[in-house]
Structure 1
Amino acid sequence: MKVAILGGCGAMGGLFGGWLARAGLDVTLVDVSTEAVETINRSGLRIDEDGSTATIQVAASSQPEEIGTVDLILTFVKCYHTADAVSAALPMMHADTVVLSLQNGWGNAERIAEIAGRGRVVAGLTYHSCTLVAPGHLRHAGSGPTHIGELDGTSTPRLQAVSDALASAGFEVSVSAHIVDEIWKKLALNVCTLPTAALLGFPAHQLNQHEGTRDTMRALLSEVGQVARAQGIQLDEAERWEAITGLLDRAVGARGSMVQDVEARRPTEIDVINGAIVTAGRRYDIATPFNSAMVWMIQSLQESYRDRQA
């Protein structure tokens, strides 16, 4: 199987691309960062995990049109780069190319479908966490399951082929007939933890150590549950709360993606995380004051560092 990773020199893209390459698949990391591409092609991809370091030889490129067609494209770019990245990747697609989104937030699959065609798209999510240390250098901070599924819930040979490829690389993969429900479970985690940590500068585990942050996350989760039920999405709030707090307790020292974005003065994905809850609330006439407040505050924070850069 020939594989391309969009956003492949980033933290999560590098992790998945590196592991797939280590398993013997033909992988190219596709990224706009020429510094990262040059570093990886020259010195390999460095991944720190479990107290050791591995250097993986994997191809990297900033020119998707020069790669040729591939069988699988994994999408790890930030949500606001999805349209541009998928458009640039069109020359890599043949008639049966599968495009799998493992991105954060809600709505990425539809963005990809608008450009590449709905028939190409497979949706998913992963609970792995990874940090970009430097160009070509990652720290794998935590492991977890990866769920993938067809948008219509069917079981297909191509879905099994993608699952087998990921499993061969060491990922714990689950094929789901209810992938939308699974995506919303991950969305609930991100809604509660990412902006809360970003605003306070907290590592993940600290969110579960203070009454104020726990109460805030509870309130955010309640709004997720309300808008999910309005759409017929199965989301058990009690199960999610136990899963979220348990994950936070295990993620000692881990820093969420939104914290990393704020610290690097990059745009965040707030619009497809808490913003997705606010948008759904408006559609179904459900008040979402806590999620609205998170959107307002993160947007203000982004404006503040854009103003300082101007």
Structure 2
Amino acid sequence: MKICIFGAGAIGGYMAAKLAQAGADVSVVARGPHLAAMQANGLRLIEGETDTHVDITAEEDPARLGPQDYVIVTLKAHSVPPVVDKMQPLIGPETTIVSGVNGLPWWYFHGHGGPYEGTRLETVDPGNAQWDGFGPDRVLGCVVYPAAEVSEPGVVRHIEGNRFSLGEPDGSKSERAQALSKALAEAGLRAPVRPRLRDEIWLKLWGNLSFNPISALTHATLDVLCTDDGTRQVARAMMVEAQQIAETLDIKFPVDVDRRIRGGAEVGAHRTSMLQDLEAGRPMEIDALVRSVQELGRITSIPTPTIDTVLALVTLRARVAGTYP
């Protein structure tokens, strides 16, 4: 089984290191100083008190790697459409594209059934770049739970979590899903195959939709924005609007809104990824985490007044900072 991880930053690097430790045939596509460090010295993974080193095949040009059985995409959502053409040398007749990207996935309505089957989402796949360039039949969904960071080029520090939930768009337990699940399990990662992966996508998105933009606007950590009366009510209103959309699409939430917010508060003084991107001057995941839910509101004819307001504010904040096109 040949596995290529496209975008071997923190999460991709963590997964690659674990697979390489287990003896898998794994390669990575990366760039910049991180790539140069991996090519020169291999990949170093720090997990608590454990510090390990693996040699790994790392390239900037996918053409040097050739067709793969699995291409696991761990880029940020807005970074994927521009590189679809670049990824083509990795894709053979039987290649599976594993979409380990935050937010609402571009393939969401493939295999969904019902009146929205085949609907395409412009906010996360402008110009149908992925739908046409990969083909939705190739895709295997993945919800990423671990937290990690690139502490310096070539070095990934694992913070917490080891679960990568997998799921076919149509909910089936396919051979390809089970084979990848087994490979990840042999690498010490949890990779359950879920028949209702969209439920997990929404549970994670529920928090990202609200907590991320509010933190970028206020610079507050999760414990503060989830307990302050004002920002808590804004987050709750956004989540209620999202829940109405999701339940229209047959999503089942295992917890209620208030419990989900309490869970955010219990994370503690955490700076969300969107706030970290703003402070670092990196592009922010506004479209995948917020604008995509607004688009679903339009598709399902469900009003999203609070989401619309927060989206307008965080978009302008990002544009002023030069972190949104």
Give me the TM-score of the superposition, normalised by structure 2.
0.85
CA distance change for structure 1 residues 59 and 102 in 2, over 3 Å: closer, same or farther?
same
Q: What's the counterpart of residue 103 of structure 1?
A: 101
Residue 132 of structure 2 corresponds to which residue in structure 1?
A: 114
1:291 corresponds in structure 2 to 307
Cα displacement string for residues 171-198 of structure 1 (whole angstroms, at most 9, x for unaligned residues): 2222111122221122112112222222
User: 1:55 — aligned with what?
Assistant: 53
Distance 1:49 1:29, change over 3 A: same
Distance 1:244 1:158 in 2: 35
1:89 corresponds in structure 2 to 87
For residue 302 of structure 1, report the CA deviation from its aligned partner.
1.6
Residue identity in the other structure for 2:208? N
The question of 1:242 aligning with 2:259 is answered yes
SS at match of 1:166: helix
> Is 2:78 the partner of 1:80?
yes
User: 2:246 is matched with which residue?
Assistant: 228
- Could you say if the C-alpha distance between residues 282 and 141 of structure 1 is closer, same or farther in structure 2, counting changes exceeding 3 Å? same
- Aligned-residue offset at 1:283: 2.2
Letter in 2 for 1:245: R
Task: Work out the CA distance in 1 between the residues paired with 2:42 and 2:259.
Answer: 39
CA distance in 2, matches of 1:262, 1:188: 20
Q: Is the 8 A contact 2:226 2:261 kept in 1?
A: no
Q: Distance in 2 between matches of 1:203 and 1:67?
A: 41
Q: How far 1:47 sits from its partner (Å)?
A: 3.0
1:71-120 deviation digits (Å, cap 9, x = unpaired): 11101112122123332111112211111011001133364342112221
For 1:293 and 1:49, how far apart are their aligned partners in 2? 40
1:282 maps to what in 2?
Answer: 298
CA displacement 1:211-249 (0-9 Å, x = unmatched):
3332222112101101112222223551x5424533541
- Alpha carbons 1:197, 1:203 under 8 Å: kept: yes
Matched, 1:134 2:132: no
| Cα distance change of structure 1 residues 306 and 178 upon mapping to structure 2, 3 Å threshold | same
2:42 aligned residue (26, 39, 44):
44
- 2: distance between equivalents of 1:200 and 1:22? 41
SS at 1:91 equivalent: helix
The separation in 2 between residues aligned to 1:254 and 1:54, in whole angstroms, is 27
Distance in 2 of aligned mates of 1:248 and 1:59: 40
Q: Answer whether contact 2:226 2:264 (CA < 8 A) is retained.
A: no
The aligned residue for residue 142 of structure 2 is 124
Q: Does the CA-based 8 Å contact 1:265-1:302 persist in structure 2?
A: no
1:215 maps to what in 2?
Answer: 233
Structure 1 stretches of at least 4 aligned residues deviating more than 6 Å after TM superposition: none
**What does residue 319 of structure 2 align with?**
303
Residue 179 (structure 2) aligns with: 161
Q: Call closer, same or farther: CA 1:26–1:254 in 2, change over 3 Å.
A: farther
Are the equivalent residues in 2 in contact too, given 1:6–1:30 (CA < 8 A)? Answer: yes
The one-letter code matched in structure 2 to 1:246 is: G
5+ long unaligned stretches in structure 2: 109-124
Question: In structure 1, how many angstroms separate the alpha carbons of the residues matched to 2:296 and 2:278?
Answer: 25
AA paired with 1:286? I
Moved more, 73-82 or 281-290: 281-290
3-state secondary structure, aligned to 1:273: helix
Q: Shift of residue 297 of structure 1?
A: 1.9
Paired position in structure 1 for 2:21: 22
Match of 2:5 in 1: 5
What one-letter code is carried by the residue in structure 1 that aligns with 2:206? A
Match status 1:176 vs 2:175:
no
1:21–1:201 Cα change, 3 Å: farther
CA-based RMSD of the aligned residues comes to 2.3
Report the Cα offset of residue 52 of structure 1.
4.6
Q: Assess, with a 3 A threshold, how the Cα gap between structure 1 residues 256 and 55 changes in structure 2: closer, same or farther.
A: farther
CA distance in 1, matches of 2:170, 2:94: 17
More helix by share: 1
Q: Structure 1 stretches of 5 or more lacking a match?
A: none
Partner Cα distance (2:45, 2:220) in 1: 24
Mapping for residues 138-153 of structure 1, pairs under 5 Å: 138-143=156-161, 145-153=163-171
